[in-house]
Every structure is written in C-alpha cells, then in structure tokens.
Amino acid sequence: DAPLLQVEHLKTYYPVKSGIFSRTTGFIRAVDDVSLTIRKGETLGLVGESGCGKSTIGRSIVRLENPTSGRILFRDEDITTKTRRQLKPVRTRLQIIFQDPYSSLNPRKRVSELLSEPFIAHKLADKKDIPARVGRLLELVGLPRGSGNRFPHEFSGGQRQRIGIARAISFEPELIVCDEPVSALDVSIQAQILNLLGDLQRELKLTYLFIAHGIGAVKYISTRIAVMYLGKIVEIGNKEELFRNPKHPYTRILLNAYPPPDPEARSAGRILIRGDVPSPEHPPSGCRFHTRCPYVRDLCRTAEPPLGAEAHAAACHFPLDEPSGLPVLK
Ligand code: SF4
Ligand code: MG
C-alpha cells in the first residue's frame, strides 16, 4: 500500500534556557533523526519509556510542535513548515486524541456543543443537519444519543475519552495520532476503549499511530511496532516478528516486562534494565543505550548503530538472534 504518512529525518528540539536573560544554553533533543512510514489502514504502535520523545513525534506530525528539521509528508504533501492557515485543509484529515481528553474539552460547554464545533468551523455540515450528525457520533462511540446535553464533568474518564474520540472522528480524518489514550484509565476500561478504536478503524477505514509507554496496549491494536529510546527508533517491525525475535536488547527488556511475571519466573534468566534514562540534552556517545545495555562492547561507546531499512530493523551493532520464547500474538 502507498504510504499515507512519511516522516524523514525528523528532529524536534526544545531550547534549554537559563540565566536572567534566559539565553539558550542547549537543546533537549526530544526527537533526534527519526524516519518512519505509516501505510493506509495500519496501526503503527510507538512504544518507549516516558520522555523518550514518542509524544513529540505524534505532536510534530499533527504540527502541534514545529519540527527543527527533517520532513513530514502527508499524502505526498510536505506539511513540515505549513502555517496554521495553510494547514487548515489538512487538519481535518489528521487528528490527535490525548491521554487526558478532559483537558481539551471546554468544561462550560455541553457535549453536543463541543461536538458541533468541528462541523461549524470547517463547514463540514449544513446547520440543520448538525444535531443528527452529533447524535450519530455519540452512537458511534457508544454513548447514548441523548447524552449530548450533559457537561464533560458529568462523564466518567472512559466516557470522556469516548467524547474525545467522537470529536476526532467528526472531522472524518484519515490518520489519528492516539497519544496514550488509555494510559490514565482503569484496566477494565482500557480494553473497552481499545475495542472501540478497533471497531472504528474497520468501520471508518482509519489509520492510527498509537503511542504508549508499555507494550500491553500496543500489542492488541498494532500491526507494526516501533520501539523508541532517547529520541530515536531502536527497532521497528511487524508485531509478530518483533515478538517472535526481538533483535534489540532494549526491545527484549520491554517485552520481558510483559506480561507481568509471576514471582517464580522473575528470577529465571530475565534481563533487568539498570540505571536511569540519560538526559536527552546530553545523550551518550555511540549507541545511546550503551550506558544501560547488558551486552555493551567497546564499539558501542563510540560508533552509533544505524537503523537499517529492512522491514524488521534494529539499531544495534550486535543484534540478538534467538527466539524470545514469548507467545506470538495474532
Ligand atoms: Fe547494546 Fe551495543 Fe547493541 Fe547498543 S549497539 S544495544 S550497547 S549491544
Ligand atoms: Mg507522552
């Protein structure tokens, strides 16, 4: 399939300021040379510890952040440096849902009003048709049609996420960046929201970039998975491949943390990650994972391992090549 979105050598840096004149004294390299492709209809899972830059990729793609360099192509159109006005026609096609939908919902407006706004702002429907559209949206996300006259605070966390999703799909987007949409929810509710996202994907032919800090949610919904560490993608591949034979030591550590091991299995040869995540302002030389990698050798400290262009690629000088023994997920 043709790529829907291409990210080429994306860098998104944030200035670090200090002193009374807040001079720029350095940069947080939140995203540091990331390339990836998202094909129509797929779900690319993006996983990594908090602070590794995955949200910044998502926010850069929908241009809530301005990339420092590199290119973002949506349907072959370069959107990297478009202004707000230039972006408006693309906006509807490219949506984002957040971990905390409440923060993006005006608490003083009724849900029906919140869901009407996109139709009005982007002239997506005739005024007389809007109530029916809003009713249909509520139905699509599994809320009662009549619930539109309530305010956001009258809904539970899971229901609010449904409202956030309803708002995103009201634009009839092609790509939705899901930035940790279930991380703040109870486990039982997480499954419901993931199922809803799956159903909507099939019904509305949506494409997702699904961001999470743990492999748990990503494993259900993704067709491919990209693993991030300190601003870079360290491994990317089909979900089955990645689970069957994780090549990068960091991926293996993330996968070993899933499912949560029982106490007996805990001592049975699992690799444990050591140390803290280094600062994205001063990332380690060579392989950025070398300060924590159980397999580190001299070369790793000086030479940066490239991420190959293969369908299943890992940025490691000494990729692992033995089956993980983990159940292969469908
Ligand atoms: Fe570990 Fe070296 Fe591979 Fe980096 S390149 S992940 S330090 S083995
Ligand atoms: Mg985040």
pLDDT of residue 277: 82
> Which of 113-122, 158-167, 172-181, 273-282 is the least confident region?
273-282
**CA atoms of 103 and 83, how far apart (whole Å):** 24
Atom 5 of ligand 1 has which residue's CA nearest to it?
316
- pLDDT over threshold 80, residue 65: yes
Which of 273, 274, 288, 295 for mutating ligand 1's site (highest number of atoms within 8 Å of CB)?
295
Distance CA 210, CA 75 (A): 19
Q: What spacing in Å lies between the alpha carbon of 144 and ligand 1's midpoint?
A: 52
Please tell me if the CB atom of residue 228 comes closer than 6 angstroms to any atom of ligand 1.
no
Structure tokens at 216: 């748990």
Give kind and range of the element (H or E) at residue 299: helix 298-302
pLDDT given for residue 121 in this prediction: 87
pLDDT (tens digit per residue) in 292-324: 998 999 999 999 999 999 999 999 999 998 777
Give 15's contacts (C-beta < 8 A, 6+ positions apart).
Answer: 24, 26, 27, 28
Sign of CA dihedral 292, 298, 301, 303: negative
Q: What is the DSSP string of 214-271?
A: SHHHHHHH-SEEEEEETTEEEEEEEHHHHHH---SHHHHHHHHTSSPPPHHHHTSS--
Q: What percent of the chain has pLDDT over 90?
A: 77
Global ipTM: 0.97
pLDDT digits 0-9 by tens, 113-157: 999 998 998 888 899 999 999 999 999 999 999 999 999 999 999
Specify burial of residue 184 (Cβ count, 10 A radius: 0-12, 13-18, 19+): middle
Which of 3.40.50.300, 3.40.50.720, 3.40.50.620, 3.40.1190.10 would CATH assign to domain 3-93+171-314?
Answer: 3.40.50.300
How far is residue 315's CA from residue 247's CA, in Å, rounded to a whole number?
Answer: 9
Residue 182 is given by DSSP the state T
Q: Ligand 2 centre and the CA of 135: distance in Å? A: 31
Q: Is 300 in the pocket of ligand 1 (CB under 6 A)?
A: yes
Domain borders along the chain are 3-93+171-314
Which residue from 90, 89, 39 is spatially nearest to 61, judged by alpha carbons? 90
pLDDT at residue 329 tops 80: no
Q: Are 61 and 72 in contact (CB under 8 A)?
A: yes
Question: pLDDT at position 74, please?
Answer: 97
- Helices 157-170, 130-140: crossing angle, 10 deg rounding: 130
Longest CA–CA separation in the chain, Å? 69
Cα–Cα distances (Å) from 118 to 28, 39, 167, in that order, read: 34, 26, 8
- Which atom, in ligand 1's list, is nearest to the CA of 301? 7
Q: Chain-centre distance of CA 194, in angstroms?
A: 14
Substitution candidate for ligand 1 out of 230, 273, 289 with most atoms within 8 A of CB: 289
Per-residue pLDDT tens over the stretch 257-276: 766 555 554 444 455 577 77
Starting from the CA of residue 285, give the closest ligand.
1
The closest-lying atom of ligand 1 relative to the alpha carbon of residue 296 is 7
Residue 13, beta-bridge partner list:
29
Q: How confident is the model at residue 330 (pLDDT cuts 50, 70, 90)?
A: very low
286 lines ligand 1 (CB under 6 A): no
Pocket test for ligand 1, best of 247, 273, 297, 316 (most atoms within 8 A of CB): 316
Say how many Å lie between the CA of residue 107 and the centre of ligand 2: 23
Closest atom of ligand 1 to 248 CA is 6
